[in-house]
Structure 1
């Protein structure tokens, strides 16, 4: 206990109550299991003892705790999240109006514009995370609670690689939502014999309605991320224990999740009606259910779990396309049997629904354990 107190003495001296110490300990990777080694039931109980052990100056009154800054977002940043959907709608309109060879330049230009707009929206909107949040990190590779330069460099390199993998998997999943079902149908029927034409009636059908709905969903996703940040602020201000904060944040997280899925379902219905295409609710909702918690975790520097979930879903979809193709080789027809069985039971949509649905459930469970912890929403400059 003396060693722990020495390591976190500055934190304990600056804290005005045990909750601040508990949040700081969590940010350093101290968990309830760690607290049990010090014969305490949880981190807050350990924080109470540390707070009691630190000498206090009784001559000066303790300063009043400063309220955490209310997370605010500029209207321009929220409007920026509307740009990907607007450019996606313009691209779909251009493809419908274009005839013959102009389709390819319109499609490529539209995809590039949408990609750049989405990148800007993710970097300069509530989807970039609340200002100043930091993730809880373990104390491995630290000296007296502070990371060594080698540990910081190693974490930066690993985080960059994991983030790049997550981005590539996200692009694959979005591309599959647009072209995957049509390509899988073509592969299972002996094709594809022609490249995609950008219309549902072509030899390689394109599902533009769910893809456009996902682009339009950037705006409600940003708003939901802002609501979650505001809920976390209220929880940090009102809660007096970590358990109380977790109990308050769990329904708020699930409510935010449900609100986003309801908005995505409405957008899918709108796009399906406007484009006279199937709304493809299962594909759109399962992919959206995977992407939202992945983004919320990523902006709080929990990149590994989202990258694994996105990678697993992308791998399943890639195998669904590769196995029937490999099954065309002599004596390898058995490779296509699992995919063919799944498609016969639920159609081509069963592949992305199964891949994204299972990954979304696993990631939501992880988010329920991670995003309901106070350390996930601790602002920069809070005592560590």
Structure 2
């Protein structure tokens, strides 16, 4: 019996040499890189459930990037991808893309190169310059006319600039692209707050300064020296800044889309896009500051940097977020800034009522220290800061740049 066992062992060893050689061959094949991801079958296939859950997303996707953006929009992170035996969401998306094409028996749809990359078209370039041109013509008309003609010129000019901005927001980099994304600020409240902020930039400081002194005694006459002074530099600079805003949005969209194609993880993509967002934002503010200085010099009026730069920053961030499908935070930020200005104005007039003098003390103190422009400066700066922090989190997601609008 012991001998027999030794024989068996020897026999097994003899046969085991072949097995060992075969096993070595298998190990060698395992070390060879696979050209395409191998589907995992059976109960130990963690990707199959994810495929069933996001089958519609995978079937309509034209490349793995759209699947990766959709997965991120549904809360799948690089850490979550590790549970599916992948190093990041992009790797997981590549396997899902390959497996859904094999499962349907049809080849994966081809994606034209740079199909969804925004391009600088002549149409939106002209539209981006149109608000500034109409704004300059309106300001020139106000300086060349007097009497009853001036209010008509102001009304016609304001309407033409508004229509030009509306057309610009429907086309070009400042428009919303892709199914499932909004075209403009659909919320009536957001539109109303935006209009209020722009009207306040023209009339608000003059009204607040006159109200603190007991006025105004007359309606605005369209000049900067009247009883209710009219400020034209901020709105003219903002109208001219539509062109830099378009280029900023275009540059951000193009560069972010390109970095999406080369990134190998969500964290890597966010880390590369965040400096891009800050650079684009700073570049726009520099352009707006130059426009304010030039307009102030030409019109012989104060440039109003302190109150106009925060307003421009707030409007740009709100539009960038809206363009990429995030509309709630811009509406809240615009509303908060507008309410702060409304409250400041109302408190001054409420302080004239008997026994309500303390209501006007905070605004009076603020105006004594820093002037009427401090109210919109503080209101818009606080709202723009909050919106910048929000944009740094949302616009650095892959799903924010998905060409098919996969935001949840």
The verdict on a shared fold, with TM-score over 0.5 as the criterion, is: yes
- 8 Å Cα contact 2:90/2:264 also seen in 1: no
Deviations 1:299-344 (A, max 9, x none): 2221100000000000000001001111111111111111111112
> In the alignment, which of 47, 62, 66 is matched to residue 92 of structure 2?
47
Matched with 1:30 is 75
Q: Measure, in 2, the Cα distance between the counterparts of 1:99 and 1:298.
A: 40
Higher relative contact order (CA 8 A, sep 6+): 1
Q: Determine the structure 2 residue equivalent to 1:103.
A: 150
- Once the 2 structures are TM-superposed, how far is the Cα of residue 47 of structure 1 from its aligned partner? 3.5
Which residue of structure 2 aligns with residue 275 of structure 1?
Answer: 299
Matched, 1:231 2:271: no
Find the aligned partners of 1:49 and 1:259 in 2 and give their Cα distance.
36
The answer on whether the counterparts of 2:118 and 2:254 sit within 8 Å (CA) in structure 1 is: yes
Q: CA RMSD in A?
A: 3.3
- Matched-pair contact (CA < 8 Å) for 2:118–2:173: no
1:361 equivalent to 2:380? Answer no
1:353, CA displacement in angstroms?
Answer: 0.6
Is residue 83 from structure 1 mapped to residue 130 from structure 2 by the alignment? yes
Taking the aligned partners of 1:34 and 1:343, their CA distance within structure 2 comes to 52
Q: How many equivalent pairs are there?
A: 360
State how far apart, in whole Å, the 1-side matches of 2:98 and 2:163 are. 54
Give the aligned partner of residue 4 of structure 2: none
Judging changes above 3 Å, is the alpha-carbon distance between structure 1 residues 178 and 161 closer, same or farther for their aligned structure 2 residues?
closer
CA contact under 8 A between 1:194 and 1:203: conserved in structure 2?
yes
How many Å separate the matches in 1 of 2:204 and 2:407? 48
Provide the rounded CA distance (Å) in 1 between the counterparts of 2:276 and 2:308. 23
Structure 1: runs of 5+ lacking an equivalent:
136-155
In 1, Cα distance between equivalents of 2:407 and 2:150: 56
1:19 touches 1:47 (CA, 8 Å); kept in 2? no
Residue by residue over 1:248-287, the C-alpha shift from the partner in whole angstroms, topping out at 9 and shown as x without a partner, is 1111111110110011001001100000011111111100
Matched with 1:307 is 331
- The CA distance in 2 between the partners of 1:351 and 1:315, in whole Å, is 11
Q: Which range moves more in the overlay, 197-206 or 18-27?
A: 18-27
Of the candidates 197, 211, 220, which is equivalent to residue 187 of structure 1? 211
8 Å Cα contact 1:68/1:237 also seen in 2: no
Q: TM-score, normalised by structure 2?
A: 0.79
Counterpart selection for 2:55 from 3, 9, 27: 9
Render the CA deviation track for 1:108-150: whole Å, top value 9, x for unaligned. Answer: 1111111111111111221114x43766xxxxxxxxxxxxxxx
Alpha-carbon separation, structure 2, partners of 1:365 and 1:382: 22
| Contact 1:186–1:204 (8 Å) recurs in 2 | yes
- Structure 1 distance, partners of 2:52, 2:58, is 10
1: CA distance, partners of 2:311 / 2:407: 38
Match of 1:257 in 2: 281
Using the TM superposition, give the Cα deviation of residue 222 of structure 1 relative to its aligned residue in structure 2, in angstroms: 0.6
Aligned partner (choices 261, 265, 271) of residue 241 of structure 1: 265
**Larger radius of gyration, structure 1 or 2?**
2
Which one of the candidate residues 178, 203, 227 is aligned to 1:203? Answer: 227
Structure 2 SS opposite 1:171:
helix
* Residue in structure 2 matched with residue 127 of structure 1 by the alignment: 174
